Amino acid sequence: MPQEHAPGLVIQGFTPPLKLQDFKLAAFDMDSTLINIECVDEIAAAAGRKEEVAAITEAAMRGEIADYKDSLRRRVALLKGVGVQHMQEVYDRRLQLNPGAEELVRACKQAGLKLLLVSGGFTFFTDRIRDRLGIDYTRSNVLEVEAGRLTGRMVDQPWGDICDGAEKRRMLVETCQRLGISTRQAIAVGDGANDLPMMGEAGLSVAYHAKPKVREQAMVAINEGGLDRLLEVVRP
C-alpha cells in the first residue's frame, strides 16, 4: 500500500532512505517534469490553436489516447505556419525550470550519475535544456522547418520517427547498456502516461505532479513541492 512519507510525498514498494550513489543514471521527461510547460501547447498559442492542442495533450498524458504517435502528429499538424521566432519567444518568456530541478540535477552529478533527457517534445527545447543543465544524453523529436516556419510535420531520425513511450523505454535501456549498468541502477522521472514504459524499466520510478495513472504506478510520487524532494528519500 502506498504510504505518505511526508506531506505530499507518497512511497510504495520500498523502505526509504535509499542512497543516490547506488544509482548510475537519472532519466527525466521534460515537459511538465523538468520544465513548467507543455511546449507544444505554447507553440500552438501562436497559431491560435492552444485550446485545441492542449485538449489532445491532456488526454494523451492521462493515457486516454492509445496511439501517442498519432496524437502528436495531430498536434504538430495544427502548428503549421508558426514561425521559429515564436518558439524562441516560448523559450524566453514562458519556459521555466520547475522548482528543485537544478538542485536535483546538481546532486545527481555530484553523486556520479549520468543524466538522460527523453521527451515527446522537440529538439528546439531539449537541446537548450541539455546545455543549460549539462545533461549527457537526449532523445526527442525534430520539427520540420521551411523558410523559417513550421510545416506541420516532423523529421524522421536515424533511430525512428517519434519519441513515444516505447522509444523512451528503449533509450533508457540503450543508455544503460552503453554505460555498462543494469536498468535497476537507473532512476526515471516523469508525469505522463508516455513515461510509464521507462519508469517501469527503472530501478526507481518517480512521478512528479503527475497524472493519476502515473502516480498510482510510481514508487515515489511527489505531489507537493519541487523535484528536489526526491532527495528526502534518495539521500546524497
Active site residues: 29, 31
Q: How many Cβ atoms sit within 10 Å of the Cβ of residue 85?
A: 11
Contacts with 146 (C-beta within 8 Å, 6 or more apart), sequence order: none
Continuous H helices in 78-100: 84-89
Report the relative pairing of strands 204-208 and 220-222 from DSSP bridges: parallel
Cβ atoms of residues 168 and 118 within 8 Å: yes
CB of 125 closer than 8 Å to CB of 66: no
Rounded to a whole number of angstroms, the CA Rg of the chain reads: 17
Q: How far apart are CA 80 and CA 118, in angstroms?
A: 24
Specify burial of residue 181 (Cβ count, 10 A radius: 0-12, 13-18, 19+). middle
Distinct helix (H) and strand (E) counts, the chain:
9, 11
Angle between helices 101-110 and 123-133 (to 10 degrees): 60
